[in-house]
Structure 1
């Protein structure tokens, strides 16, 4: 496990949020946020945390990954995302950070927290030598597309996924 640094703070519309590395205790709340989404509800299962806890241990043990949680002043989970540092040869040896699983709690959406969190993630990436941040979003999430475009992200590529099964 990478040693956690002191939590950061985000000031959004007069509210102070805490940004920190996720702990095992955050997993149930993260899974609930992942599940609270029309696109992901069919593939996430908050009733069985075992696979998520195993995945958390793998993510937490790898220093290239940062699973981030944002707590509101009362300690409630307000948002989450996962960051992965990917060094590469393309783009003249660019180090990039991949942003995954961005979720904001329903009662916190539309208030600026998502944009503030992405800004925090960009600063986190720069501090690790990254010169590019990239993310993908499901083609059905048109509101998310507009959100990322407002933040300066450009739909520059077409992404593909293929589910794998053993055998």
Structure 2
């Protein structure tokens, strides 16, 4: 897969990224690809924060994958820095191609480069295929997550 490029997302990539975020049962309920204004504002906030890394995977000029990596300095674990992987999406035409593994490996490598001691991610409880995927890559289901909608 040498024809794949993983690079920082640009404002022109927003429609393709949002389309991938919306292309599953959960995303279809919470994303609005027909109104990109909130995504453009969010993209600017990400671009202004050096601890945020929104990347895309491009093959033959098309956006085929994305993820967001957040680097978080902290006091716990002896002042360690951790990273969080979020918003992992692979275009439907690329699923099963190994692209997801390449994206996660990019995030792990970048986390090491940023001197993180821990990489974590969350996955919706209903995404059992994703859970198996992350476990195959060495992640362990070690915590219970909680959310509070505001």
State the distance in 1 between where 2:96 and 2:146 align: 29
Kindly indicate whether the alpha-carbon contact (under 8 Å) linking 1:80 and 1:101 is maintained by their aligned counterparts in 2.
yes
Q: How does 1:89-108 map to 2 (within 5 A)?
A: 89-108=75-94
Kindly indicate whether the alpha-carbon contact (under 8 Å) linking 1:39 and 1:140 is maintained by their aligned counterparts in 2.
no
**How far off is 1:104 after superposition?**
0.3
**Residue 9 of structure 1 aligns with which residue?**
none
**Which sections of structure 2, spanning at least 5 residues, go unmatched?**
none
State the distance in 1 between where 2:39 and 2:32 align: 9
Q: How does 1:16-95 map to 2 (within 5 A)?
A: 16-72=3-59, 74-95=60-81
**How far off is 1:68 after superposition?**
0.4
**How far off is 1:35 after superposition?**
0.1
State the distance in 1 between where 2:95 and 2:116 align: 28
**Residue 137 of structure 1 aligns with which residue?**
123
Scaled by the length of structure 2, what TM-score is found? 0.98
Runs of 4+ in 1 over 3 A off after TM superposition: none
**How far off is 1:135 after superposition?**
0.3
Scaled by the length of structure 1, what TM-score is found? 0.88
**Which sections of structure 1, spanning at least 5 residues, go unmatched?**
1-11
**Residue 3 of structure 1 aligns with which residue?**
none
**CA deviation map 1:118-148 (0-9, x unaligned):** 1111010100110110000000000000000
When the two chains are superposed, the root-mean-square deviation of aligned CA atoms in Å is 0.8
Partner SS, residue 162 of structure 1 = coil
Kindly indicate whether the alpha-carbon contact (under 8 Å) linking 1:31 and 1:46 is maintained by their aligned counterparts in 2.
yes
State the distance in 2 between where 1:111 and 1:27 align: 23
